[in-house]
Homo-oligomer: A and B are copies of this chain.
Amino acid sequence: MISVFPVEGLPEVDAGDEIAELVLQAAGLEEGDVLVITQKIVSKAEGRLVPIDPDDPQARRRLVLSETVRALRQRDELIISETRHGFVCANAGVDLSNVSRGYAALLPVDPDRSARHIRDAVRARTGLEVAVIISDTFGRAWRHGLTDVAIGCAGIAAVVDLRGTVDATGRELAATEVCIVDEIAAAAELAKGKSTGNPVVIVRGIDRRWFRESSVKAEVIRPYGGDLFR
């Protein structure tokens, strides 16, 4: 059985805060837990807030373009960006919600590194082996509604072949490569709670065979030219 529950009572996160420390003060972790951490607090801890003139309607657009390697599509205020990391998402992940007026939050420079840092900090303080996923909220082409996905991970396979090589009828199967870090990020979103939610969720009971070194960059991001929709 898999259990999904939020870490309640976390304080506001500021630049320089050690997220692992805050989580350990608020929750009892167990070996094999997966911590799913909202990108926003990682960006805050890493000082990725930048000032933005709230009265200049073009300021946000300029900031988005500065974070965009390629603008895949544009419509009105919306830019579908390819970011420096290789993510394809709305407005390069630049976010003005849940930050002070006059500031915008940028994505972490290297979310896999952010995840490793938090995983290592938990290990150093407790000796526990946990996995960490940094999540953000992306749209999905051809479908309404956003879902949380993984933008960084540490200590857990990003993609695993869940189906083996032979199905129940003995027929040979093509590999079914499943992006489990996206599925875990999605599961976590359901347990954040209402309104702005709790920014850290624990997912307990994930198959321990999936725990290994990995990264979203290496296993999930398709390079330019590696897909059919750019």
**Interface residue ranges, A against B (CB under 8 Å):** 1-5, 72-73, 75, 80, 87-88, 96-101, 137, 140-149, 158-159, 162-164, 167-169, 171, 173-174, 176-180, 182-184, 186-187, 189-192, 194-197, 206-207, 219-222, 227-230
Given contacts A72-B228, A146-B179, 5 further A-B pairs with CB under 8 A are: A2-B190, A88-B141, A137-B178, A140-B140, A144-B219
26 A-B residue pairs with CB within 8 Å: A1-B191, A2-B187, A3-B3, A4-B4, A96-B171, A97-B167, A97-B171, A97-B174, A98-B169, A140-B179, A142-B227, A143-B222, A144-B177, A144-B179, A145-B179, A145-B182, A145-B219, A162-B189, A163-B196, A164-B196, A168-B195, A168-B196, A184-B190, A187-B187, A187-B190, A229-B229
A60 vs chain B, min Cβ distance (A): 12
Q: Which chain B residue has the least Cβ–Cβ distance from A168? A: B196
- Return A112 CB to nearest CB of chain B, in Å: 14
Q: A2-B190, A5-B1 are in contact. Are A183 and B148 (CB under 8 A)?
A: yes
A19→B183 CA distance, assembly (Å): 25
Distance of A163 Cα from B174 Cα, bound (Å): 40
Q: Across the interface, do A101 and B230 meet the contact criterion of CB distance under 8 Å?
A: no
Q: How far is the CB of A153 from chain B (nearest CB, A)?
A: 12
- Which of B195, B207, B227, B228 interacts with A164 by CB under 8 Å? B195
Chain B residue numbers with a CB within 8 Å of A137 are 176, 178
Which residues of the partner chain B approach A180 to less than 8 Å between Cβ atoms? 145, 190
A229 to B143, CA, bound (A): 11
Q: Is the CB of B227 within 8 A of A141?
A: yes
B5 touches A4 (CB 8 A): no
Q: Do B189 and A178 touch across chains, with their CB atoms under 8 A apart?
A: yes
Contact of A142 among B2, B183, B230 (CB under 8 A): B230
Find the residue from A140, A148, A149 having the highest chain B CB count within 10 A: A140
| Chain B residues whose C-beta falls within 8 Å of the C-beta of A192 in the assembled complex | 162
